[in-house]
Amino acid sequence: MAYLKVKLVKSPIGYPKKQREVLRGMGLTRLNKEVLLKDTPSIRGMIRKVSHLVEVREEDA
């Protein structure tokens, strides 16, 4: 199963509430926090919505 390591690299302050909710849904609550998420179409869609705020790396598990 492929995983994605997602890191919040830019503050969501000043961005729309919907984007902040997407980050919270992925578990990204603080700057520089990293989470390991399964590589699914829904997660890819969430990442696409906030791609300007996060950094993504592929991980094998």
**5-16 tens-digit pLDDT:** 999 999 999 999
Residue at 18: amino acid letter: K
Q: How far apart are CA 19 and CA 16, in angstroms?
A: 6
**31-42 tens-digit pLDDT:** 999 999 999 999
pTM for the model: 0.91
pLDDT greater than 80 at residue 27: yes
pLDDT greater than 80 at residue 61: no
Nearest Cα neighbor of 56 from 41, 34, 40, 23 is: 34
Q: How far apart are CA 11 and CA 15, in angstroms?
A: 9
Please, what are the domains in the chain?
2-60 (3.30.1390.20)
